[in-house]
Structure 1
Amino acid sequence: MSTSPPSSPVTIRDVARAAGVHVSTVSRALSPEKRSLISDEVLRVVEEAAQRLGYRPNRAASALRTGRTHTIGVLVPDITNAVFPPILQGIEASAAARGYFVFVTNVVDPALARPVLERMLAQRVDGVILATATRDDPLVDFVARAGMTAVLVNRADETGRLPAVVSDDRLAMKLAVDHLVGLGHKRIAHLAGPQNIPTGVGRRLGVEQALRDHRMKPFRVVECASYSREAGAVAMQQMLEAGPAPQAVVCCNDLVALGAYDALRRAGLRVPKDISVTGHNDMPLVDMVDPPLTTIRLPHRELGWRAAEMLFEEIDGRAMSASTVVLRPELVVRKSTGAPAAR
């Protein structure tokens, strides 16, 4: 039985012929960067012809011609953390507007980050966005040596070698501390994030500075092993076992705050009647827990969008130098904080 040979792929010349325009016109019309040079009427004709013929851009040929693959890579440390989906949404919105495709990799084990980046290098991505940076991160050295175009998001490189988009961790903690002090709390403790991560350090320093501004010291500080509910529960239990309970606890993120809820509930302590609790991130559904969590709201989608915009400026050679963009947080007051109980 004979079979017909597979049909050859539709080319840009086929689209130009069907639309009755020059090949260069089709090239501009189908390029996100150049389509603004074409009139709306011609764009409509070209797009209809391309859709009718089933045209698909040949990315490999385009990469050979332009030196770009129109792809970027993104590394996140925990895709299950509610912080990262809106960051990714912002990145993808910026990338889609330019016709870029986004490769996302979940790097739970930091040791896997370099092999992932090497694979992305082999795939010739045009740039990468890293949400995985740790303090003194060797990955930053690798990126610099490899000549990769890279931007950090949610965590900054303390040496300032790579551009970054972050939220103001110290201001976030000042907002939480000022709120608790305003309610009358004196014994304010902190469940700190991992101190090998820039956000963990920044938020701890923010709590300490905010308390100094009120001529106070942290009642107690316990470092969490990770930014997770389980780690928050363990750290809160350790805090309770170390001595008298605090009046209020500033938690390094919402998941840790939920873990603190668990430990306090097991100890027979009520939030906020016995201990007030604040979180950080305003992740989805923290307004639905009992009691609804007072927390710090961050512009996560804007973090991702701004990081991608900075990356594309780097790719296009329009960035002047490495810089850090800091976005402002805001306090969201709910029912997990209240005046200290009379003793």
Structure 2
Amino acid sequence: MSTPTLRDVAEAAGVHAATASRALNPATRGLVNADTAKRVIRVAESLGYRPNPIARSLKTAKSGTIGLVIPDLTNPLFPPIVRGIEDVLEPAGYSGLIVNTDNDPHRERAQIDLLRSRQVEGLIVATAMLDHPLLEQLHREGVPMVMVNRRPEGVDVPSITPDDATGVQLAVEHLASLGHERIAHLAGPVATSTGVARARAFRGTVRDLGLADDPSLAVPCDYWTEEAGAAALRSLLDAGESFTAVFAGNDLIALGCYDVLAERGISCPGELSIVGFNDMPFLDKLAPPLTTIAIPHQQIGAEAARLLLDAIADPDRAARSVLLPLSLVVRGSTAPPP
């Protein structure tokens, strides 16, 4: 039995092939009478017709695909962001192709080259470093892009980021309200805009509140990982620093703190309070549940997709940046100092 074609669907539905094509494409379905579109879809399903995206892209010069560039797929922060992206792309007739860079610049370049060879119409990038020559190059070449969660300096592209400064302020004010005066900060990597912004906001809030502004209590982590967080807390404890609370640059770094507390028999929050950042899934299942700053993950993804679709539709549109508000989620990992 031969594979049904678009012409077969059109003839069976009693419409022109162009009408059938528009009815079967979510992006153009609104141009077709609703009853006609339903009839075409029913006929296509009954015949077992499947659109050929390669043929469509050759005809329209549009692939209907977007590249999603993720630094670490094992980080629970990203799946809800991807879900938000897909919730917007799918009704618009687009699908996402996900690549993982492992925070490796060479792998990132190879993966983005692969996406471009697949004719993706734009990129949603969550890997931005403060100094990111590849993104500068892509911007010069006119590749539609949106930055998620981070943004490089000197690259004027749309971005969707959480309001890190306010989030940090909420975390430190919460600890101060409990009576903590010496708060350690296990910061994110200094090569990332997120790490730098949160560390800067931490120091500013500590000063504004009149807390101990001790540089020895701020330790940058090499990576946004549990292992890096554990290493940073061990270094503080081994150095004999005095502190009663830790503000971690993200939740994975905070999880590393939990590992060290278990190793050394330190009670949380009895002896040391911990606050994370991101509110990734399952934090309420920890012992104790982690106090953290909540980021609207799916909203970030959805807004990023909208910004990119706008940029594809109007390449000359001025770059727009969106800052999303955050909230404090108080759980069981914070208490007054001993």
TM-score by length of 1: 0.94
Helix, strand or coil for the counterpart of 1:287? helix
1:213 is aligned, of 204, 208, 216, to 208
Percent identity (aligned): 43
* Alignment gaps of 5+ in structure 2: none
Helix, strand or coil for the counterpart of 2:15? coil
Whether 2:184 is the aligned partner of 1:189: answer yes
1:22 is aligned, of 1, 7, 16, to 16
Deviation at 1:320, TM superposition (A): 2.2
Helix, strand or coil for the counterpart of 2:284? coil
Is contact 2:144-2:308 (8 Å) kept?
A: yes
2:116 is aligned, of 121, 132, 150, to 121
**Other-structure match for 1:10:** 4
- Tell me which amino acid in the other structure corresponds to 1:314: A
**Other-structure match for 1:329:** 326
Equivalences, count: 335
1:283 is aligned, of 276, 280, 302, to 280
Alignment of 1:313-328 (within 5 A): 313-317=310-314, 320-328=317-325
Alignment of 1:189-268 (within 5 A): 189-219=184-214, 220-268=217-265
Whether 2:34 is the aligned partner of 1:40: answer yes
Deviation at 1:305, TM superposition (A): 1.0
**Other-structure match for 1:3:** none
**Other-structure match for 1:301:** 298
- Tell me which amino acid in the other structure corresponds to 1:24: A
- Tell me which amino acid in the other structure corresponds to 1:22: H
* Alignment gaps of 5+ in structure 1: 1-5
What is the CA–CA distance in structure 1 between the aligned matches of 2:227 and 2:275, rounded to whole Å?
A: 17
- Tell me which amino acid in the other structure corresponds to 2:98: V
What is the CA–CA distance in structure 1 between the aligned matches of 2:42 and 2:127, rounded to whole Å?
A: 42
Deviation string for 1:99-118 (max 9, x for gaps)? 21211011112221112111
TM-score by length of 2: 0.95
Is contact 1:310-1:319 (8 Å) kept?
A: no
Whether 2:52 is the aligned partner of 1:55: answer no
What is the CA–CA distance in structure 1 between the aligned matches of 2:32 and 2:114, rounded to whole Å?
A: 37
Helix, strand or coil for the counterpart of 1:292? coil
Deviation at 1:319, TM superposition (A): 6.4
Q: After alignment, is 248-257 or 52-61 more displaced?
A: 52-61
Deviation at 1:42, TM superposition (A): 1.4
Whether 2:177 is the aligned partner of 1:171: answer no
What is the CA–CA distance in structure 2 between the aligned matches of 1:201 and 1:319, rounded to whole Å?
A: 31
Deviation at 1:217, TM superposition (A): 4.0
Helix, strand or coil for the counterpart of 2:285? coil
- Tell me which amino acid in the other structure corresponds to 1:135: L
Is contact 2:230-2:253 (8 Å) kept?
A: yes
What is the CA–CA distance in structure 2 between the aligned matches of 1:122 and 1:36, rounded to whole Å?
A: 30
Are residues 250 and 285 of structure 1, via their aligned partners in 2, closer, same or farther at CA, if it must alter by over 3 Å?
same
Deviation at 1:314, TM superposition (A): 0.8
**Other-structure match for 2:139:** 144
User: Structure 1: which 4+ aligned runs deviate by more than 6 Å?
Assistant: none
- Tell me which amino acid in the other structure corresponds to 2:57: A
Is contact 1:175-1:330 (8 Å) kept?
A: yes
**Other-structure match for 2:86:** 92
